[in-house]
Structure 1
Amino acid sequence: MTTTATADAMPAAVSPAPPRPGARDPYFDNAKFLAVVLVVIGHAWEPLRGADVGGRVLEAAQTFVYAFHLPVFIVMCGYFSRGFTAGQDRTRKLVGGIIVPYVIFSAAYPLWAGLLSGNHVGWDPLEPYYLTWFMPALLLWRLSTPLWKQIRYPITAALVISMLAGFDTLPSMLNAAQVLSFLPFFVVGLTLRPHHFAFLRRRVMRIVGAALLVLGGGAAYALAMTVDPEWVHWRRSFVQLGVGAPAGVGFRLLALAAAVALTIGFLAVVPGRRTWFTRFGSASMYVYLLHGFATLFLSYQGWYYRISGAEVVLVTIGCVALAVLLSSGAARTAFRWAVEPHLNWLFTPRVPEPAAVAGPRPDGRTRGDSGDQRTMRA
């Protein structure tokens, strides 16, 4: 990964050593792995929400996790999409990194669900099944990157679009509601720069971040069983959630504020040094696309809805182990054909592009620095 976050703005006493040129920054790999672990846990907990398993604690925990785990991913996707262009390499990466894996997994999940249920589950590539909605969403967000770079107030515009998405029940095609509702997080990521992450990595911000997460957890517990958790899933209209437009806008703004605060808190407490799980960060897409086969399996098992509180804890620990397993070299080797397919046979030979002229750019990066992270797709 090209290093995109430095600690130039941090005092020397608390600044982490900058990665070597061309090396991966462990901070972002740590953040990706921890975020995808939360995704796995959230999907494992979701079937239990309506089964009276875990009670208020589990309800609060799931709402807390869902309030920020996808915003974290989407903000980072936006940050590493800053250099997106319509060049031949970018187009090939979109096809090989998003479109082809989406086609494979959007067909595999309905087939798996059909086997589990004993009933035929139809496949429609325009109707994402289960967790595959994120792939076309990421494709659409990245394709829109040049537009957001031209808009004078991109965050405001994206926020307005997100608010308007709640006024009407949108078609289910490509999960339009979530694509538009989560858009502000992607646009925020596009506007972030290395010094913003350097600021979050200050020692004082770690304390602030931890406090935000504790307060968020307390708020989730206080509101559990009284506020519909669908507000943090961003997939229902105001009408579907049983409120009018004024209340809907208010609730959505509160959900947005909570997501921003918890995302800041999460990114602030992520360790910046290399850890035992740093090497797993580059495989976040493998974990995301593959873990659903396990969580979907659990959702079709009758015994799963009768587990006790202690067993919920074991399931949670198992989710962490599953994320580690799916990040392993063996898993990457076995499933690279589906997650990171090599498609050289599909494209014409590359035409060498003119070398970028060296020198600083207005945003402070060197010309030729795309700001992209090769493996950051989720």
Structure 2
Amino acid sequence: MDRQTELDLIQQCWGLIQDKTTTLADETASADTRRYRSKEVFELEMAQIHRRWPWPLVHNSELIGANSLKAVETPLGSLIVSRDASGQWHAFHNSCRHRGATLLAEGESRQAKRINCPYHAWSYTTDGELASVPGKQQCFPDLDKSDNGLLELPVKEKHGFIWLCPDGASAPDLDEALEGVSQPLAALQLDQLSVFAQHRKVWSTNWKIVAEGGIETYHFSYAHRESIGPYFYNNTAVIDVLGPHLRVVMPTKALATMVEKPVEQQSLRECSHTLYSLFPTSALLIQHQHIDWVQFRPLTFDKTAIAITTLVPTELRDTMGDHWQRNHDITVAVLNEDFELGEGVQGSMNNGALERINYGRNEWALKRMNDFIDGLLTEK
């Protein structure tokens, strides 16, 4: 973000604290719980949103050298992300063109000039071309290798990530999808960071419940009372709509000291955590010295795979390993507190006892997100 926005956000946070309030809507609201427990709604979300919107596959630091490969699970299935011999990025379906065998195991990462099928040893280059077929002359005399390379999907590199960009008339392009956040993401210089650690787990909760937990601070003093709660102002946040996304600035109690400093010494990152909720299923949690990338992949209406990746300054990655590990562990522990509660919420949704739930004026961002989703689901 630009410097003036940073200073404005510091003052907005301090004003809310002085007034003992948060960013509020004019009215309360409620929502039908079918959005969390309906298989039909989930399938519509998959078709209209998750298989259409750009999806960050990997951070560019995960595949550094030429001929680097990684298997990644996405709403379009298992893909192989590759950086070929010339350094160009690709994404392919993780399926051999022979009989469909999986080429790389989930999460497998390697550096190799060939992608070899473990079933019958068909071999592909890192730019997807079919390189060799055992016994081709005898077994596949008519096979055109140029027509049987790996099936490729479009990708783009932007803001330090490699994005899967589904094509089709109804799919937003990457610049359109990042409307409102491109400038602040560029300012973060995410391409100058490196992955330090990653934590993955499947949770029994709807993907929207996961997203909702990050866009309100009403729960901080209660859900996180034994962890980060004492360091934050409860139920206080400056929340802004940025295109289809949300920015949530959550001030810490260090803000009281920060506002006493000369303006030129004030730093938002030193007195807050800022969350960019990137629609539909990613979030960037901006902390003092590092950034946590949270990605949630819908599996069913009540199961979500969540990855928490800690991104740190590349030049400090190895020299401050203990520091980064402590911070990664804290982030995982705190977010797990949210996800455990989310599993309880999902249980209430599944039993059908609650037909509707309530949003307070302080939870308007949840309604805004769900209204945006509803609008996409009704598009022709």
Task: Give the TM-score, by structure 2 length.
Answer: 0.24
Which of the two has higher C-alpha Rg?
Answer: 2
Bigger proportion of residues as strand: 2
Bigger proportion of residues as helix: 1
Q: RCO higher in 1 or 2 (8 Å CA, sep ≥ 6)? A: 1
